[in-house]
Amino acid sequence: MKPDITAPGGILFCASNSYYTMLDPFLVSQYTSPKNGRVYSYEATEGTSFASPMVAGIIALMLQINPNLEPEQIKTIIQKTAIKDGFTTLTPVPTKWGSGKINASAAIKETIRLAGTITIPKNETAINVYQNPIQRNLTLGYESLESGYFFVEVSNSQGKVIQIKIWQLSQGTNQLNMTLLECEDELYSICIIGKGGEIVKKVLIN
């Protein structure tokens, strides 16, 4: 039964063909290149021709994390992490919504958790957090034995996710810098997700 998933297809903002000038009323902004003087436009558009590459791009990010993912694994992850809201309801009509609305962030996080190439360390002290209270910067440090990815979420004391990062790791010493300039003074949770689990660090910003 199709569709498998629903993807954004309406009012998407993207670069337009620089040779096509009939953009109004879809024109959003323009940029003049200092190199060649040409004007490049950005427009709001819609259609299934934009929904399809949205899904393809998310799958490409998943394959970047693990190039060995099988098609059925990709499909399962995308369907499992689909958004279900007031429009789709908690039990979406399969012929209208598929499994729901595609969720790029959740799909990538689940890929790292289920099929990532770096297993989360069992020892929580393996991942260090260094804080610069003056500049409100956080730096994560990790000594990795291989290359791969961690998924990092920073949440406030109410549990709201305020920042997400994909941490690309290489063999050896790795650092990830995060800035919390707009955040209130309070206790924050840093959740680092890798294959097989997660580590949560607490940091007080004041």
| pLDDT tens digits for range 41-63 | 898 888 888 899 899 999 999 99
CATH number at residue 196: 2.60.40.3080
Comparison of pLDDT for 203 and 75, the residue scoring more: 75
3-state secondary structure (DSSP) of residue 107: helix
Comparison of pLDDT for 180 and 84, the residue scoring more: 84
In a domain, 159, yes or no: yes
Residue pair 73/110 in contact (Cβ under 8 Å)? The answer is no
Comparison of pLDDT for 180 and 90, the residue scoring more: 90
pLDDT confidence band for 194 (50 / 70 / 90): very high
**Mean of per-residue pLDDT scores for the chain:** 91
SS3 content of the chain, % helix, strand, coil (to 5): 25, 40, 40
| Residues 16 and 106 grouped into a single domain | yes
- pLDDT of 205 strictly over 90: no
| Residues 100 and 136 grouped into a single domain | no
| pLDDT tens digits for range 94-108 | 999 999 999 999 999
Quote the number of domains for the chain. 2
In a domain, 4, yes or no: no
In a domain, 5, yes or no: no
Domain membership of residue 48 as a residue range? 12-115
| pLDDT tens digits for range 171-191 | 999 999 998 877 788 899 999
Residue pair 142/104 in contact (Cβ under 8 Å)? The answer is no
Could you tell me which of 82, 84, 81 has the C-alpha nearest to residue 110?
81
Q: Which of 97, 115, 133 is the last residue of a domain?
A: 115
User: How much is the pLDDT for 23?
Assistant: 66
Distance CA 193, CA 176 (A): 14
Based on its alpha-carbon atoms, the radius of gyration of the chain, rounded to whole angstroms, reads: 20
